[in-house]
């Protein structure tokens, strides 16, 4: 199944070109054409393989002999997949303990420590130019299929790697005027907090159930994007993200993480209509694209547990 390194080195990507499909159900909800970019069908279950795959290929070319990643989430899965494809050993540093946030910071420090070894390279889950460059491929695919720019692009923000990559991609294809609706959940809202403060903010704790959006501080590049691009930062409650996950499962028969539910909540919660009413979005856009970022940390039992936890059971 795995391809040898020589073949990978020819520049073949580890991500696939994902489908962009119009959703009748979601279009009906907002009264405008909604297109879904199905990143959940990537080989690692999320968009992360685009940036992380690209990063790993580039460092492999420069002689990296061991990859390290401190994410136990979708970034870690992408890192392990890329390493295997490249035939390079990888160490995924998994946190151990009770408070996920504190231990994530510890795992991150441990990964940085390990990467000091000769030939070892640390893969940051979201804060590196090669990661953004890799994520940018998503926008080239959108342009190839849509041709004309969408009226808005909806995505979820954790550490802001996807946002930075999509922004770079928009600039590359000449779509820098397309508004980006950057979604977070309350309790993982480090991007929104940074915008309000006008500088990077470190949240004391991640209290949202959307753990994959749980970067306590976003990448500086994410905040910089707001100066050059039209970015609307919006925050939804956990129950809105989780009920979006459930509605999306019923509408499209696709199960995604609450991190992705945050983006889908822009459609289901009436947010787009509000932005239009406020004159911030075009009243009748040609289309709206939602990046279905995916996520592995979900199954039917986990969805039930989340709903019960949030009183939606």
Binding mask 204-223 for ligand PLV (x = CB under 6 A): --------xxxx--------
CA distance 145 to 285: 17
Looking at the chain, how many residues does it have?
313
Q: Is 31 left (phi over 0), alpha (psi -120 to 50) or beta?
A: left
Query: Sign of the C-alpha dihedral, residues 298, 304, 305, 309?
Result: positive
- By CB under 6 A, tell whether 238 contacts ligand PLV: no
Q: Residue 249 CB, nearest distance to ligand PLV (Å)?
A: 15
Query: Sign of the C-alpha dihedral, residues 117, 119, 122, 128?
Result: positive
Binding mask 45-64 for ligand PLV (x = CB under 6 A): -x-x----------------
Q: Residue 297 CB, nearest distance to ligand PLV (Å)?
A: 8
What are the φ/ψ torsions at residue 304 (nearest 5 degrees)? -60, -45
- By CB under 6 A, tell whether 136 contacts ligand PLV: no
Please identify, using beta-carbon distances, which residue of 8 and 162 lies nearer to ligand PLV.
162
- According to DSSP, residue 117 is labeled S
Binding mask 152-191 for ligand PLV (x = CB under 6 A): ----xxxxxxxx----------------------------
Please identify, using beta-carbon distances, which residue of 125 and 285 lies nearer to ligand PLV.
125
- By CB under 6 A, tell whether 74 contacts ligand PLV: yes
- By CB under 6 A, tell whether 225 contacts ligand PLV: no
Cα torsion 79, 223, 155, 312 to 10°: value is: 90
Q: Residue 23 CB, nearest distance to ligand PLV (Å)?
A: 18
- Interface residue with ligand PLV, options 8, 29, 73, 169 (CB under 6 A): 73
Task: Extract the tokens encoding 53.
Answer: 């795959």
Q: Residue 147 CB, nearest distance to ligand PLV (Å)?
A: 27
CA distance 68 to 87: 14
Please identify, using beta-carbon distances, which residue of 285 and 295 lies nearer to ligand PLV.
295
Please identify, using beta-carbon distances, which residue of 32 and 164 lies nearer to ligand PLV.
164
Helix pair angle (190-197, 220-228), 10° resolution: 60
Tokens 């020819």, located at residue: 10
Site size for ligand PLV (CB under 6 A): 26
Please identify, using beta-carbon distances, which residue of 37 and 285 lies nearer to ligand PLV.
37
Please identify, using beta-carbon distances, which residue of 127 and 276 lies nearer to ligand PLV.
127
Helix pair angle (137-146, 161-172), 10° resolution: 50
What's the angle, vertex CA 213, arms to CA 198 and CA 81, rounded to 5?
Answer: 125
Q: Residue 14 CB, nearest distance to ligand PLV (Å)?
A: 16
Q: Burial code of 132-142, b = ≥16 C-beta within 10 A, e = fewer? A: bbbbbbbbebb
Task: Extract the tokens encoding 17.
Answer: 């070109």
3 state SS of 66: strand
Compute how many other C-beta atoms are within 10 angstroms of the C-beta atom of residue 11. Answer: 8
Please identify, using beta-carbon distances, which residue of 32 and 263 lies nearer to ligand PLV.
263
Please identify, using beta-carbon distances, which residue of 32 and 195 lies nearer to ligand PLV.
195
Please identify, using beta-carbon distances, which residue of 126 and 268 lies nearer to ligand PLV.
126
The footprint of ligand PLV on residues 252-311 (CB under 6 A) is 257, 259-260, 293-295
Q: Burial code of 30-53, b = ≥16 C-beta within 10 A, e = fewer? A: bebbbbbbbbbebebbbbbbbbbb
- By CB under 6 A, tell whether 149 contacts ligand PLV: no
Residues at the interface with ligand PLV (CB under 6 A) = 46, 48, 71, 73-75, 125-126, 156-163, 212-215, 257, 259-260, 293-295
């Amino acid at each position: 199944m795995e391809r040898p390194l020589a073949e990978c080195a020819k520049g073949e990507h580890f991500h696939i070109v994902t489908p962009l499909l119009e959703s009748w159900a979601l279009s009906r909800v907002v009264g405008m054409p909604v297109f879904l970019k199905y990143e959940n069908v990537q080989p690692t279950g999320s968009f992360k393989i685009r940036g992380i795959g690209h990063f790993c290929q580039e460092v492999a070319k420069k002689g990296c002999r061991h990859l390290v990643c401190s994410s136990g989430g979708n970034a870690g899965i992408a890192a392990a997949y890329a390493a295997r494809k490249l035939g390079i050993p990888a160490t995924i540093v998994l946190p151990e303990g009770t408070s996920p946030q504190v231990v994530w910071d510890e795992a991150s420090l441990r990964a940085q420590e390990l990467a000091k070894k000769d030939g070892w390279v640390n893969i940051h889950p979201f804060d590196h130019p090669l990661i953004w460059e890799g994520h940018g491929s998503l926008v080239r695919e959108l342009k190839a299929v849509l041709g004309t720019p969408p009226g808005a692009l909806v995505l979820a923000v954790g550490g802001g790697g996807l946002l930075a990559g999509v922004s770079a991609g928009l600039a590359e294809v000449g779509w820098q005027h397309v508004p980006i609706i950057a979604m977070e959940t309350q309790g993982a809202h480090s991007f929104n907090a940074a915008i309000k403060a006008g500088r990077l903010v470190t949240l004391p704790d991640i209290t949202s159930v959307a753990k994959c959006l749980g970067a306590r501080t976003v990448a500086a590049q994410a905040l910089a994007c707001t100066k050059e691009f039209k970015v609307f930062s919006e925050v939804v409650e956990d129950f809105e993200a989780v009920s979006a996950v459930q509605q999306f499962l019923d509408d499209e028969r696709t199960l995604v993480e609450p991190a992705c539910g945050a983006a889908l909540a822009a459609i289901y919660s009436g947010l787009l209509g509000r932005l239009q009413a406020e004159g911030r979005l075009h009243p009748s856009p040609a289309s709206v694209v939602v990046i279905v970022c995916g996520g592995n940390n979900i199954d039917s039992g986990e969805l039930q547990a989340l709903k019960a936890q949030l009183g939606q059971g």
